[in-house]
Structure 1
Amino acid sequence: MKVLAFAASNSSKSINKSLANYAASQVPGAEFEMLDINDYEMPIYSQDREEELGQPQQAKDFFAKIGEADAVIISFAEHNGSYTAAYKNLFDWTSRIDMKVFQGKPVVYLATSPGPGGAQSVLSAAVNSAQFFAADVRGSLSVPSFFDNFDMESQKLTNPALNTQLRAVVSALT
C-alpha cells in the first residue's frame, strides 16, 4: 500500500508536517511518501489567470501524485479558522483539472495547532466538504496543544490516548 502524506501548510517548521509524517509511519505495512506543497507553488488562482495560463503543470503533477497513491493523509494547519492560503491555492488550481481532486481515495484528515483548539475549525470544514471532492474520509483527528502532546526531538505523539486514537484512524486506511 502506498500512502501519500502532506501538511496543508507551506511553513518550513510545520507542526502539521510532523504530525502527517508520524501518522503515515503508523499505517500498518504501508510505504509512504511525504509531499511538500512548496513544490507546487503557483500564482494565486483566478479565472483570468486560468484563461491566460491554462492549467499549471504543478497542479497536474499534484493531481497525478494523488492518483498514484492508494491512500492519502493530510494534516491541516489553520489560519484564521480556515485553510492556509498555500493549500487553498493548490487545491483551487487542482480542482479545475477535476473536481474529484481525491479521486475516490481513502483519506485521513488530521489537524493540529499549538493551542487547545487543535485546528478543529479547518478540520471540520475539510471533513464536511470532502464528499464534493471525491475523498473517502476514513477518519479524522484533531491534536490539541501540539507541543504538550508531541515530542519534536523523537518526532512521536507522546499522549497515549491521542496515540491510540491516531493509530485507530490510520488503520482504517488498510
Structure 2
Amino acid sequence: MSHYKLLLISGSLRAEATNTKLLREAARVFGTAEVELADLNLPLYDGDLEERSGIPEQVQLLAEQIVAADAILIATPEYNKAPSGVLKNALDWVSRTKAAPWTDKPVAVMSAAAGRGGGAQAEVILRSMMQPFMARVVPGPAINIATSYEQFDDKGHLVSERYAQTLTDLMSALRKEIGR
C-alpha cells in the first residue's frame, strides 16, 4: 500500500497551535497520504452523561476516524508537566466506545511547547497513557520542539535542521510500523 490515511490529533484547541503546525509538518514530511485533523472540542467526560445519552456523536466520530486511519499522529503541548486536559479527555471518551479503536494501531507521538524542554515530560506521560489501549506506539526518535513559537516559518515548516531531521526519522519509523 503506498497511499495511507493519517489521522492527526492535536492536544491543543488553539487555531494557531504549534502542536497542530507540528502535525501538519509531520504529515507533509510523511509524504503521500490522505490527512484528516481530529476535532477534540468534546464535552468533558461525564459518566452520568454517558449513561443518560450514550456516547456523544462527536466522540463516536473520533473513534471511527481512528479505526479508519492507517496511522495516528498525536502532538501534545505540555501544561504543568503533563499532556493537555483536552487530549486526556478525548482519550478517556474514546476508551468508552465499543470498537477498541486503538488496538494494534500504529501511533507516532510528539510534542511542542513554549518551554525549553519542548514538552518531553508530557510526551513520556502520553506514551504511558496510550499503553492500556494496545496501540503500536513508535518508540522514537522523540521529537520535542522547544520554544515552539519560534520554530516554524510562515509556511509552517520547521526552521531547525535538527528538528526537521528528527521528524523525518520519526515519519520513516512510522511508515515501517504501518508496514509491519
CA contact (8 A) 1:25 1:32 kept: no
Q: How does 1:1-174 map to 2 (within 5 A)?
A: 1-38=4-41, 41-42=42-43, 44-98=44-98, 100-138=100-138, 139=140, 140-151=142-153, 153-174=154-175
Q: Distance in 2 between matches of 1:55 and 1:120?
A: 32
Instruction: Give CA-to-partner distance per residue, 1:4-37, whole Å, 9 cap, x none.
Output: 1121111222110011111111113323222332
CA, structure 1 residues 86+130, in 2 after alignment: closer, same or farther (shift >3 Å)? closer
Q: Distance in 1 between matches of 2:21 and 2:82?
A: 20
Q: Distance in 2 between matches of 1:98 and 1:14?
A: 31
CA contact (8 A) 1:28 1:171 kept: no
Q: Tell me the SS of whatever aligns to 1:37.
A: coil
Q: Distance in 2 between matches of 1:121 and 1:98?
A: 30
| Aligned residue type for 1:142 | N
Structure 1 unaligned residues grouped into runs of 5+: none
Structure 2 unaligned residues grouped into runs of 5+: 176-180
CA, structure 1 residues 101+34, in 2 after alignment: closer, same or farther (shift >3 Å)? same
Alpha-carbon distance, 1:47 to partner: 2.1
Q: Tell me the SS of whatever aligns to 2:110.
A: strand
CA, structure 1 residues 126+91, in 2 after alignment: closer, same or farther (shift >3 Å)? same
User: Normalising to structure 1: TM-score of the pair?
Assistant: 0.89
Larger proportion of strand: 1
2:178 matched to which residue of 1? none
Instruction: Give CA-to-partner distance per residue, 1:97-123, whole Å, 9 cap, x none.
Output: 159442311111010111101111210
Q: Distance in 1 between matches of 2:170 and 2:105?
A: 15
